[in-house]
Structure 1
Amino acid sequence: MNGFWSSLPLWLLGLSFALAAAAVWAAGITLSNTTTVLDKQFKLSAALGGLILLAVATNLPEIAITLSAALQHNLDLAIGNILGGIAVQTLVLAALDAFGLGRRAALTATSGSLTPVLEGTLVIAVLMGVVMGAQLPGTAVLGRLEPGSLLVALLWGVGLWGIGQASKLPWHLDGPPSETPPQPAKQGKQGGAPMSTRRAALGFAFAALVTLGAGWVLALSGGALAQHFQLSGVLFGATVLAVVTSLPELSTGLAAVRQGKIELALGDIFGGNAFLPVLFLAASLISGQAVLVQLQPTDLYLTALGALLTAVYVFGLVLRRTRQWGRMGVDSWTVVGLYLIGVGGLWLISRSGG
């Protein structure tokens, strides 16, 4: 299959890549709309809906890439995509701040719940589990089970349970921020018939399949494009491929924010970032190799960058500063600056052979 894609002319590779990206974008909007209906049916909060349903569905491209790489015993690209994807998907929040809300208020000032704070904390905890697992010896494999990857999965599962319990607590804001947050956007025509649960489930499943298939095409055509332009696997996986596979989060996030569903958008990003490292367990089981012990300095660097960017938004969610510079809050500008610095550092590490 890789040989087939490598044999295609450059223009056809680019067209396939663009069409797959467009399909992912369109499917992401459907995922956002149908998740709201399913939240109500299964009695999930908007934050938990984003954390569980939407987060897993929008990470189907990363799932496809990881499974393909594990089957081929070629995990370098998948590792870079998973860890680089966390940093890029956190950067998506800055895009939602700028283009979802515009000049109405900073994104982190509009959340009416502390649940996103716990979700961001879970991301940091899971990433610390990745760092711990990377320090274990390569011989620490029980059959096809890598203890470090198992730890990451357990942290994720326990974190989901804890967030579910916390959502039942009577949390409330003591008062509004210094400025009035924006009102939710109007949702379509007044008096329109609500979407049935069956229709929402079918729409969600179809959009998820489109996302998975398009993600597979993105991975294969993108890999061929990287070879054509002679990009390194680490840099390509952590930057170009990570940006493209973050398109579902961008499209679903914009749709959610413009409808006033801030917690759903935040839950999608943080939930997806917490879920991505769990894919290391699947890669370990499929390949029979200890994956985390293969992490290079660039990979650990990306892990720390993802945790750092997440911490900035956790602070923003607690401080709830509404002031904007241009179209974004101070925390979003900080994340953009740190990401650019981080990419520069990644390039220096790769150049030095780390």
Structure 2
Amino acid sequence: MSSLPSAVLLLIFVVSAAVIWGAGIKLSAYTDVLAQRLHLGAALGGVVLLAIATNLPEIAITVSAALSGETEIAVGNLLGGIALQTVVLVALDAFGVRERKPLTYMAASLTLVLEAALVVAVLLVVVAGTQLPADLIFARFTPAPVLIVVLWVLGLALIGGPGSRLPWQDNGEAPQGQEHPRGHAREQTEKQASDRGTSTTRAVLVFTTAALATLVAGVTIETSGETFFGNLGLSGVLFGATVLAAATSLPELSTGLSAARAGDYKLAMGDIFGGNAFLPVLFLLITLISGEAILPHAQASDIYLTGLGALLTTVYLVGLVVRPQRQILRMGIDSIAVLILYVIGVLGLIALS
């Protein structure tokens, strides 16, 4: 795309973002329908299906960038995406909560605390992986990405199994939280689809079409954006961590707002934490495609973004435990802190780049 005029590149980028937004909404809705009808629900299979479906743009960008040798864009998009998708919770707090209470107050549960802890644990493995020798590779496998996958699967099994039956009062659910149990928004989505007469076959077709559209748009948004914003002087890491991460976070924003407005605040936060825990799993995919140890070659900005993502997640983890009730501009104190820290973090990233 390097030969195309800047105006055409920008148009392709915007259209691709619009496709990701629209297809992402359909993908999320029909993922809920299929998870309910296939009786996956909150089981491990359902969580994996949801994680993959909601992160198809990142998967497409990862594969495209790895095949073209632009691994720094893929790494920046994954790690920057974790930080930015955590900031999506700020928008959900400000515009999605119906009650005059902060998001973490309404959603508080020990299960969400475990999910946030899983995100931090996976990011710590990312940091540790950057310190390993680059030649520590066998059959295209390196220790850190493999450990990330194992940790992710074990974490999901723990949260979906014993984690859902915690030996605490009310299974670790906080009092005065959301009225209905977590996941009722997905049940409503499936019920609405059934009322419209949507068959399982149609749900599969729409899901597949939306997935393909998302994958294609993920490739075009990465290639057009890299050229356009690169011509403006934006480095690959900074582009991947900010502009590209923002574009690929649009589906999470839309579906999160939908769940929050339905009063399913636990689901809204859980989807964000679940997606963020899944993104580092894609480092294994980058390693398998490129045949190189990616994390040992991480730049200072990559480690910086990893720390930023862990820091923002920790703020919300604390918020889920402390449950602040004070609001500023309809946001909890924890959301205000996350927003401020993210702005400072982006300024620091610019200084690094």
Give the TM-score taking structure 2 as reference length: 0.88
1:67 is aligned to: 63
1:93-242 equivalence runs, <5 A = 93-101=89-97, 104-111=100-107, 113-169=109-165, 171-173=171-173, 175-176=175-176, 192-193=195-196, 195-242=198-245
Q: CA deviation at 1:49?
A: 8.3
Match of 2:79 among 80, 83, 87: 83
1:249-260 equivalence runs, <5 A = 249-260=252-263
Q: Is the 8 A contact 2:109 2:320 kept in 1?
A: no
- Whole-angstrom CA distance in 2 between matches of 1:319 and 1:198: 45
Compared CA separation, residues 331 and 44, structure 1 to 2 (3 A): farther
> Secondary structure of 1:101's partner?
coil
Q: Is the 8 A contact 2:109 2:174 kept in 1?
A: no
- Whole-angstrom CA distance in 2 between matches of 1:49 and 1:247: 24
What whole-Å deviation, never above 9, does each CA across 1:173-224 have from its counterpart, x for those lacking one? 36315xx8799999898x9446443333333222222221211111111111
Q: CA deviation at 1:273?
A: 0.9
Q: Give unpaired runs (5+ residues) of structure 1.
A: none
> Secondary structure of 1:204's partner?
helix
- Whole-angstrom CA distance in 1 between matches of 2:267 and 2:206: 18
The answer to whether 1:280 aligns with 2:283 is yes
User: Which region of structure 1 is more displaced relative to structure 2, 45-54 or 95-104?
Assistant: 45-54
Match of 1:55 among 46, 51, 56: 51
Q: Is the 8 A contact 2:44 2:157 kept in 1?
A: no
- Whole-angstrom CA distance in 2 between matches of 1:47 and 1:339: 33
Q: CA deviation at 1:85?
A: 0.9
Compared CA separation, residues 317 and 38, structure 1 to 2 (3 A): farther
Q: CA deviation at 1:161?
A: 1.2
2:251 is aligned to: 248
Which amino acid in the other structure matches residue 247 of structure 2? V
2:266 is aligned to: 263
Compared CA separation, residues 127 and 174, structure 1 to 2 (3 A): closer
Identical aligned residues as a percent: 54
Q: CA deviation at 1:31?
A: 2.5
Compared CA separation, residues 300 and 293, structure 1 to 2 (3 A): same
Q: CA deviation at 1:24?
A: 1.2
> Secondary structure of 1:96's partner?
helix
1:305 is aligned to: 308
Which amino acid in the other structure matches residue 139 of structure 1? D
Q: CA deviation at 1:322?
A: 3.6
What whole-Å deviation, never above 9, does each CA across 1:262-320 have from its counterpart, x for those lacking one? 23322221111111111111111111100010111111111011001001111122223
> Secondary structure of 2:239's partner?
helix
> Secondary structure of 1:210's partner?
helix
Q: Is the 8 A contact 1:47 1:267 kept in 2?
A: no
Moved over 6 A (4+): 47-50, 180-189
- Whole-angstrom CA distance in 2 between matches of 1:45 and 1:157: 17
Q: Is the 8 A contact 1:103 1:324 kept in 2?
A: no
- Whole-angstrom CA distance in 2 between matches of 1:201 and 1:304: 38
Compared CA separation, residues 119 and 134, structure 1 to 2 (3 A): same
Q: Give unpaired runs (5+ residues) of structure 2.
A: none
Q: CA deviation at 1:136?
A: 0.6
- Whole-angstrom CA distance in 2 between matches of 1:232 and 1:17: 17
1:30-45 equivalence runs, <5 A = 30-45=26-41
Q: How many residues align?
A: 344
Q: Is the 8 A contact 1:89 1:246 kept in 2?
A: yes
Q: Is the 8 A contact 1:52 1:271 kept in 2?
A: no
- Whole-angstrom CA distance in 1 between matches of 2:107 and 2:42: 11
Compared CA separation, residues 74 and 28, structure 1 to 2 (3 A): closer
What whole-Å deviation, never above 9, does each CA across 1:32-55 have from its counterpart, x for those lacking one? 322332332344456978843333
- Whole-angstrom CA distance in 2 between matches of 1:278 and 1:130: 10
User: Which region of structure 1 is more displaced relative to structure 2, 28-37 or 231-240?
Assistant: 28-37
Q: Is the 8 A contact 1:13 1:221 kept in 2?
A: yes
What whole-Å deviation, never above 9, does each CA across 1:221-247 have from its counterpart, x for those lacking one? 111111221211111111111111111
Which amino acid in the other structure matches residue 334 of structure 1? A
- Whole-angstrom CA distance in 2 between matches of 1:310 and 1:123: 7
Give the TM-score taking structure 1 as reference length: 0.88
Which amino acid in the other structure matches residue 330 of structure 1? I
Match of 1:295 among 277, 288, 298: 298
What whole-Å deviation, never above 9, does each CA across 1:64-107 have from its counterpart, x for those lacking one? 12112222222111111111111011111111111222664322
- Whole-angstrom CA distance in 1 between matches of 2:314 and 2:41: 23
Q: CA deviation at 1:114?
A: 3.0
